[in-house]
């Protein structure tokens, strides 16, 4: 754990740490209303009706989209079991466009299923919300808890906890007391990747591995700097390995996103001081001081585009601040309206960030749609 000797606030150009999670619970101080809904833990005789036909394979495969799109907040895990059976039967012979469509629909179905929102109404009141978060914390971190605590939860929450215990669902910790239920991304990859071209299988397997645990924690990164570097290198290499992939645009967005995080950090994860002239010194749990400079020095020796960026990063840090205006003129495309209207509003720490963007030839980047899912979804489903 890092403890900065100097705490420095930064807001300009930092990426949002609020990865928009479709299943997120609202903050404890909100006052949602209890929905008038009864959720019963029963297994339907037929979770998803399938039309009858003299050609079962053709009809079964045609019903997959309807089966997945019919899953919502009122569904049960058995509906996914039914969908899994259909997909296992149909994926091997489906064309690739249809395979990707089904994979996308499958993940969106899970996000609807795991939501606690019924339209504009949240199903839990404040007390139920706090009780659920406490139980999820205890289970996720293997703490002791009483079964009676689960019995007092909302029926839908009880049902989800039961599925977690049966290893059909997972719990994700987004910090600050916020937990979410998520599906098993490894199971998702196991279902789809055997039937996909290698480039697509590689991407889904990677996203499933990286995204099962949240990237963000309290406006900071939950992964180490070295892990961040590894991810940035992976997505850079993916573009070279599979330039014709149907996922190439997603890979480019992920590459730019992780590269930005690497050199600029986030609100609560930073490597440099305000004016970006030196690395922040931290104290570890053994009271030893250290900085992150060695990781960037090592990266600068890497024979890659990212290695060249690291070299430019280190050169920028070593450049005196009074020489930066001439050497690194600010790109107007990186200025917001306030700065364009009145350049004098640019503060020194903001100027340093903008100049570093020039040094690295960077512009503002959007959060990709797949930093919390095992497949990149339509942009509207996972925006920051």
List C-alpha distances in Å: 141 to 28, 117, 135: 21, 26, 10
What's the pLDDT score for residue 323?
A: 97
Over the Cα atoms of the chain, what is R_g?
Answer: 24
The dihedral built from the CA positions of residue 244, 247, 250 and 256, taken in this order, carries a sign that is: negative
First to last CA, the chain: 26
Q: CB under 8 Å to 112, separation ≥6 — which residues?
A: 22, 71, 72, 73, 75
Q: Are 313 and 353 within 8 A, CB to CB?
A: no
Residue carrying the six token digits 């990677």: 206
Specify whether the CB–CB gap between 368 and 254 falls below 8 A: yes
For 242, residues 6+ apart whose C-beta sits below 8 A from its C-beta are 198, 199, 202, 248, 251
The span from the CA of 184 to the CA of 169, in Å, is: 6
* Structure confidence at residue 51 as a pLDDT band (50, 70, 90): very low
Residues comprising the chain, all counted: 384
What pLDDT is recorded for position 151?
94
Q: Is the pLDDT of residue 298 over 50?
A: yes
Least confident of 100-109, 325-334, 341-350: 341-350
Average pLDDT, rounded, for the chain = 86
Task: Give me the pLDDT at residue 3, please.
Answer: 42
pLDDT by residue (tens digit) across 302-323? 999 999 999 999 999 999 999 9
Q: In 3-state terms, what secondary structure has residue 280?
A: coil
d(CA 338, CA 344): 10
pLDDT at position 24, please? 40
Sign of the CA dihedral with 193 first, then 199, 205, and 207 last: negative
Are 363 and 334 spatial neighbours (Cβ–Cβ below 8 Å)?
yes
The residue behind tokens 């009676």 is: 148
- Least confident window among 26-30, 142-146, 200-204: 26-30
Dump strand ranges (E) for the chain: 3-4, 117-118, 121-122, 169-173, 179-183, 216-217, 220-221, 282-283, 289-290
243 token code pair: 């330039």
State both tokens at 77.
Answer: 């895990």
In whole angstroms, what is the distance from residue 61 CA to residue 67 CA?
A: 10
Q: Which pLDDT score is estimated for 55?
A: 55
* Rounded average pLDDT over 193-200: 98
- Could you give the dihedral angle defined by the CA atoms of residues 339, 259, 288 and 177, in that order, rounded to the nearest 10 degrees? 80
pLDDT tens digits along 362-384 = 998 888 989 999 999 986 433 33
Residues 6+ apart with CB under 8 A from 234: 206
Per DSSP, 333 falls in state G
Highest mean pLDDT among 4-13, 229-238, 372-381: 229-238
Does the pLDDT at position 208 exceed 90? yes
The pLDDT tens digits of the residues spanning 150-167 come to 999 999 999 999 999 999
Residue range 261-285: average pLDDT?
Answer: 94
User: Residue 59: what pLDDT?
Assistant: 54
Q: For residue 261, is pLDDT > 50?
A: yes
Best CA proximity match to 238, nearest among 187, 201, 189: 201
Mean pLDDT, residues 77-85 taken together? 97
For 45-68, the DSSP string reads SSSS-----S-HHHHHHHTHHHHH
Q: Which residue has the higher pLDDT, 75 or 369?
A: 75
Among 373, 375, 377, 383, residue whose Cα is nearest residue 182: 373
On the 0-12 / 13-18 / 19+ scale of CB atoms within 10 A, 374 is buried
Report residue 219's pLDDT band, with 50, 70 and 90 as the boundaries: confident
pLDDT of the residue at 337: 86
């Amino acid at each position: 754990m890092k403890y900065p000797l100097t705490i420095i606030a930064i807001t300009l150009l930092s990426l949002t740490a609020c990865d928009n999670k479709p299943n997120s619970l609202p903050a404890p101080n909100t006052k949602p209303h209890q929905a008038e809904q009864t959720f019963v833990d029963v297994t339907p005789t037929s979770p998803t009706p399938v039309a009858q036909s003299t050609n079962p394979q053709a009809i079964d495969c045609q019903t997959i989209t309807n089966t997945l799109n019919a899953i919502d907040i009122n569904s049960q895990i058995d509906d996914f079991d039914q969908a899994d059976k259909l997909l296992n039967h149909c994926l091997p012979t489906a064309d690739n466009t249809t395979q990707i469509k089904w994979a996308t629909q499958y993940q969106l179905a899970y996000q609807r299923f795991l939501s606690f929102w019924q339209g504009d109404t949240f199903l839990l009141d404040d007390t139920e919300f706090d009780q659920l978060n406490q139980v999820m914390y205890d289970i996720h971190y293997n703490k002791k808890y009483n079964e009676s605590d689960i019995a007092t939860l909302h029926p839908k929450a009880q049902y989800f906890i039961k599925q977690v215990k049966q290893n059909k669902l997972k719990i994700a910790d987004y910090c600050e007391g916020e937990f979410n239920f998520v599906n098993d991304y490894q199971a998702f990859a196991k279902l789809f990747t055997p039937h996909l071209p290698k480039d697509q299988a590689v991407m889904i397997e990677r996203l499933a591995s990286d995204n099962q645990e949240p990237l963000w924690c309290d406006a900071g990164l939950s992964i180490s700097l070295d892990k961040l570097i590894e991810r940035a290198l992976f997505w850079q290499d993916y573009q070279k390995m599979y330039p014709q992939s149907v996922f190439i645009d997603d890979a480019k967005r992920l590459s730019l996103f992780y590269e930005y995080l690497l050199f600029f950090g986030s609100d609560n994860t930073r490597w440099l001081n305000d004016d970006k002239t030196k690395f922040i010194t931290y104290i570890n749990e053994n009271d030893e001081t250290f900085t992150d400079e060695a990781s960037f020095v090592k990266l600068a020796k890497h024979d890659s585009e990212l290695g060249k960026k690291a070299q430019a990063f280190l050169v920028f840090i070593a450049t005196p601040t009074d020489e930066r205006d001439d050497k690194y003129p600010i790109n107007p495309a990186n200025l917001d309206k306030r700065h364009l209207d009145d350049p004098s509003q640019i503060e020194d720490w903001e100027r340093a960030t903008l100049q570093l963007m020039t040094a690295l030839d960077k512009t503002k980047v959007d959060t990709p749609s797949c930093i919390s899912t095992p497949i990149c979804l339509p942009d509207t489903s996972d925006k920051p």
